[in-house]
Structure 1
Amino acid sequence: MKFKHLVILSIATMITAGCATEVTSNETDTQTPIATTLASPVAESGNFQAAEHPTQGKVSVVKEAGKSYLEFDQNFQTDNGPDLFVILHRSATPPVSGIQEKDYVSIAALQNISGTQRYAVPDNVNLADFKSVAIWCRQFNATFGYASL
């Protein structure tokens, strides 16, 4: 009698484990296509390098729903400073100091000195006119770092 209960319990356990494995594999299969369709196409990218201050990480130009964004990756890092801005510069290598107003467009104040962040590029800005993204100190007109696109 005990043997009969043990066999039934074993069979029930195997059926339950088999069903759990099947559900898990089905859930994984349905999630994969969703993640793939939400991925944003990267138009351009570049790696930050130091100018006045150590700056590192990667910036990507991402197109999404007809808009362009600058995305900094999780490795982005620069020094703290006053009045820091994200700018687009016409040159692939912006000057370390003395940036002229005709050569750049300001995108936004820098959100954080490290980590992932995203900035919308204004609709009236033609990205083809600019060759780099820079972290710029407006107060001292100094380029902290830049990434050529």
Structure 2
Amino acid sequence: MKVNQLILLSATAFLTSIPWVLNYPSAHAVSPADTSTESSPVVAQNRSPAATLSGSFMAAEHPTTGTARIVTENGRRYLVLDSAFRTSNQGPDLHVILDPAEKPPQMYQDPSRYVNLGKLQKFNGEQRYPIPAAINLANFKSVAIWCRMANATFGYAPLGGSASSARTQAK
């Protein structure tokens, strides 16, 4: 019986690896066009994103540091947390939200008050969150790191400035 299970397990492992092996050369092949040193129009258009708003994080329930910037890239808006971003890993359900107040509340009573951009991707380092086109950024004054399970604001960054001041802050 154990021999049959071993054979079945080996056959399953072999069959599940076939699609990966068959796709490997095409997925990783480098064509001569990829090695060209000439600039392509796509590369020429890939400029630095234009920052419109930015702010530095402040602690609320937990120490939170770094900078939040709202940038526009190829007609889409993103919230970018910089490489210096750091918050506590004590929250089981952290989210990134836009809030209408410069200083968000410690706890939220009304879920229609904020816009949830999604779960925090990681506790530190650079990360990006798309901002839906329907969101009017003029209605929001801060970005907050919020624990949905505990209903606690970990930290927040008041948003201000313009593209020129955001570039000055980044230097």
TM-score tier (shorter) = 0.7 to 0.9
Large movers: runs of 4+ above 3 Å: 34-37
Alpha-carbon distance change, 82 to 91 in structure 1, aligned in 2, over 3 angstroms:
same
Letter in 2 for 1:53: H
Equivalent residues in 2 for 1:1-149, closer than 5 Å: 38-80=47-89, 81-149=91-159
Q: Mark the runs of 5 or more structure 1 residues left unpaired by the alignment.
A: 1-26
Superposed displacement of residue 37, structure 1:
6.0
Letter in 2 for 1:134: A
User: More deviation in 117-126 or 93-102?
Assistant: 93-102
Q: Higher Cα Rg: structure 1 or 2?
A: 1
- Over residues 62-82 of structure 1, what are the superposed CA-to-partner deviations in whole Å (9 max), with x where a residue is unaligned? 011111100011100000111
Task: Determine if contact 1:99/1:142 at 8 Å carries over to the other structure.
Answer: no
Q: Please give the alpha-carbon distance, in whole angstroms, between the structure 2 residues aligned to 1:132 and 1:91.
A: 6
- Among the aligned pairs, what percent are the same residue? 49
Q: Compute the TM-score of the two structures, normalised by the length of structure 2.
A: 0.65
Q: Please give the alpha-carbon distance, in whole angstroms, between the structure 2 residues aligned to 1:84 and 1:64.
A: 26
- Over residues 67-118 of structure 1, what are the superposed CA-to-partner deviations in whole Å (9 max), with x where a residue is unaligned? 1100011100000111100000010100112352121010010000000001
Give 1 or 2: higher strand fraction: 1
User: More deviation in 98-107 or 50-59?
Assistant: 98-107
Task: Determine if contact 1:45/1:60 at 8 Å carries over to the other structure.
Answer: yes
Q: Compute the TM-score of the two structures, normalised by the length of structure 1.
A: 0.74
Superposed displacement of residue 51, structure 1:
0.3
**Secondary structure at the residue paired with 1:136?**
strand
**Secondary structure at the residue paired with 2:52?**
strand
